[in-house]
Amino acid sequence: MKRVTIDPITRLEGHGKIEIFLNEEGEVANAYLQIPELRGFEQFCVGRPAEEMPRITNRICGVCPEAHHMAGTKALDALFHVEPTSVAKKIREVLYSAFYVTDHTVHFYALGGPDFVLGPDAPPAERNILGVVHKVGLEIGSQVIECRMRNHHVIQMLGGRGIHPVAGLPGGWSKAVSEEERQEIEEIARKNVEFGLFSLQLFNDVVLSNQDYVDLIVSDGYTHRIYSMGTVDENNHVNFYDGMIRVVDPEGAEFAKYHPSEYPNHIAERVEPYSYLKFPYLKNVGWKGFEDGMESGIYSATPLSRLNAADGMATPKAQEAYEKLYETLGSEKVNGNYTPVHHQLATHWARLVELLYSAERMLELITDPEITDPNVRAPITETPDEGVGSVEAPRGTLTHHYWTDENGILTKVNLVVGTTNNNAPISLSIKKAAKAVIKKGEEINNGMLNMIEMAFRSYDPCMSCATHSLPGQMPLVVTIHDAEGNVVERVSRHVD
Amino acid sequence: MRTLVIGLGNPILTDDGVGVKVAYAVQDALASSKRNDVTVTEASVGGLRLMEMMMGYDRVILIDALLHDAMPGTVQRMTLEDLRTISPTQHSTCAHDTNLVTALNMGQQIGLPLPKEITIYAVGVENVTYFGDEPTPAVAKAIPEVTAAVLAELNHKK
């Protein structure tokens, strides 16, 4: 069996690699993802006071510290059996919305978007944000940076620090919002709504008006029918900060709806001999291998699956954008709700719908008269024991689970991070895309490799919340091994 | 001249936090002097976010961990030009973001106030996969050396 390795994955954590196994005929037999393992996290945490967790866990990862901070803070609420004050929840969600706007912006403009704006076959050196600026105009670069900076400013104002927020406390938040700050954030939220609409318009003009791209999105190589997971509010609308976890089957029928603390009853983890990665799946469906369909317990937790798992968006403009996505991609309405879309590349579009929702939600919360209420923290009176906190991280449902002794000293810790949910569907997507592009007897070229990476990139995965060390040489390497493991061919290219 | 010193890395990932440790040491050493022209900070970000942090400064000194082909504890001083030469594919520190060189190029194109001078101190590391708040011994030994080099650089040009 031949083995093709894509290492590392372009534009995402430089430490992951894709391995593709070819059979004797040169056709794709299997494909999976390899990422480095980070070890010792639980040992690092055990013995420390639980209150440190929102500040420790936001150090796990330089990509979504805000998500870890929020899940950690919510786990502390549960651990200390304290209900945060109403205004504290709203302040948390304002910060979280600002974070979503910046996070989804960078993915679309710097990571996922270039494939569409410049084309999947564009040379890797051009397929980045510089290429986007070159093609669409300098103005777009300024807009992206301005959007990011004004929202980082909000995170700093509310969270106490710009990059790794520190304001989350069990039962609330460490500081109230002044009227002056409120006005400033309202102005920023209004700009975010404009930016969200602008980004969707750009997607419409660049991607949807190009039939080749639409064909690519709906092509079989990027389509698989799996279960969808997401957090929903009391109306089954998408929410990132709080709610129930809802899972719908490939046809769109509700399969499960549960409180985040019940995750062990619904999610099991599969271990494969070739990887230390765990592959979560739906316990009550069962593991049927890397296959899609109703009988396979594989689920995804992505922007697209969040939309699939909900009945709609909680804000008006995002709802309009949501409807357009489902109408355009051939979804049908059953009992008043759209059936799921299973075209993986449509995740980029879903991400922009979420961007607009975050902006609208931020505006809604910051214009709520209660937001400047100084009552930002509820007192703690109970003895801590065990607590689960969950949010939707941009890359999927993020769950923190802590156990402590009666003094609040950690005895056990479990985290299910966003990307982990998607380990199985990512492997499924890579395999399917690889099968579609690698043909018997054809030489494997850069364009083909990028088509495979696009399947992976749509998940916006954060590789094991991994390391940040400065790399030296970082080419994309494809190594083909023969059945004995000898290298028979090596293709490498510089990537950005 | 306004200078920003940034210790890059994850402070709880053993050797990955070496840059952050150096930044703290530089900050301590500067505490007694009145250097209003120097800001010291730490971050575990890359690409656009790192570029954005640099806005408004004339000079930036980065301290980061270097994993590839470097002996643990060895220190290399590099310029941005070196980074470009080492690899046109520099990811610098982060995923889910573009690389630093690309981010800086974009920043320049859209006319952001970016530093004219960027210096990188890269410390060779070995363990960046195990959680821990202290670096391995060889890497820990390099901290005073890098700290002294950064301070010398700060004193050389004010």
Domain end position, chosen among A342, A371, A389: A342
- Cβ within 8 Å, pair A41-B107: no
User: Residues near A387 by Cβ (< 8 Å), separated by ≥ 6?
Assistant: A75, A76, A77, A78, A79, A80, A401, A402
Residue of B nearest to A458 (CA): B96
pLDDT band at A366 (very low <50, low <70, confident <90, very high): very high
For residue A263, give its domain range: 224-342
| A354 falls within a domain | no
Q: Model confidence over A156-186: pLDDT tens digits?
A: 999 998 778 899 999 999 999 999 999 999 9
C-alpha B78 chain-centroid distance: 10
Q: Do B65 and A103 touch (CB under 8 A)?
A: no
Range of the domain at B86: 3-156
How many folded domains does chain B comprise? 1
How distant is the Cα of A61 from the closest Cα of chain B, in angstroms? 8
Q: Confirm whether A323 is domain-assigned.
A: yes
CA distance A248 to A472: 44
- Return d(Cα A392, Cα A406) in angstroms, integer: 29
What the block records as the tokens of A56 is 């420790």
- CB contacts, 8 Å: B103 with chain A: 129
Contacts of B91 (CB under 8 A, 6+ apart): A14, A471, A474, B46, B47, B99
The answer to the question of residue A371 being in a domain is no
Is residue A338 domain-shared with residue A232, that is, in the same domain? yes
Q: What is the pTM of this model?
A: 0.90
How high does pLDDT run on average in chain A?
86
Note whether B67 contacts A59, CB cutoff 8 Å. Answer: no
**Which of A469, A476, A495 should one mutate to test binding to chain B, selecting the residue with the greatest count of B CBs within 10 A?**
A469
Contact flag A468-B96 (C-beta cutoff 8 Å): no
Contacts of A493 (CB under 8 A, 6+ apart): A124, A446, A449, A475, A476
* Any domain includes A463: yes
Taking alpha carbons only, the member of A45, A129, A36, A17 closest to residue A464 is A36
Q: Provide Rg for chain B, Cα atoms.
A: 15
Average pLDDT value for residue range A318-332: 97
Distance from CA of B44 to the nearest CA of A (A): 5
Q: Which of residues 8-27 of A touch B (CB under 8 A)?
A: 11-14
Whether A440 is in a domain gets the answer yes
**C-alpha pair distances (Å), A271 with each of A157, A227, A282, A290:** 42, 20, 14, 12
Alpha-carbon distances, residue A261 vs A114, A391, A484 (angstroms): 38, 12, 47
Q: Looking at the 3D structure of chain A, how many domains does it have?
A: 2
State whether A468 and B93 contact (CB < 8 Å): yes
> Is A474 or A272 the better-scoring residue by pLDDT?
A272
> Which contacts qualify for B99-104: CB closer than 8 Å, 24 or more apart?
B99/A496, B99/B46, B99/B47, B100/B46, B100/B47, B100/B50, B100/B51, B102/A128, B102/A129, B102/A130, B102/A496, B102/B47, B103/A129, B103/B47, B103/B48, B103/B50, B103/B51, B104/B51, B104/B80
Q: Which residue has the higher pLDDT, A54 or A119?
A: A54
Of A11, A13, A110, the CB nearest to B48: A110
Higher per-residue pLDDT: A284 or A21? A284
Q: Residue B9's pLDDT is what? A: 85
Looking at the predicted structure, is the pLDDT value of residue A11 above 50? Answer: no
The answer to the question of residue A180 being in a domain is no
- Domain containing B133 — which CATH number? 3.40.50.1450
Q: Which pLDDT score, from 0 to 100, does residue B24 have?
A: 96
Share of chain A above pLDDT 90, in %: 61
Q: How far apart are CA B24 and CA B20, in angstroms?
A: 6
Q: What is the pLDDT of residue A475?
A: 31
DSSP label of A470 = B
Q: Do B109 and A138 form a contact (C-beta atoms < 8 A)?
A: yes
Q: Is A166 on the interface with B (CB under 8 A)?
A: no
CB contact under 8 A, A125 and B88: yes
pLDDT at residue number A467: 34
Tell me whether residues B16 and A56 touch, CB distance under 8 A.
no
pLDDT band at A8 (very low <50, low <70, confident <90, very high): very low
For A14-71, write each residue's pLDDT tens digit.
345 677 777 777 778 777 776 666 778 888 999 999 999 999 888 776 668 899 999 9
Domain final residue pick, A342, A370, A390: A342
Q: Which of A461, A454, A463, A447 is nearest to A429 (CA)?
A: A454
> Does the pLDDT of residue A219 top 50, yes or no?
yes
Looking at residue A191, its pLDDT comes to 98
Answer yes or no: is A168 within a domain.
no
Percent of chain A surpassing pLDDT 70: 87
pLDDT at A37: 65
Q: Which among A281, A311, A342 is the end of a domain? A: A342
Tell me which residue in A38, A149, A463 faces B95 most closely, judged by beta carbons: A463
Distance from CA of A141 to the nearest CA of B (A): 7
Query: Is residue A375 in a domain?
Result: no
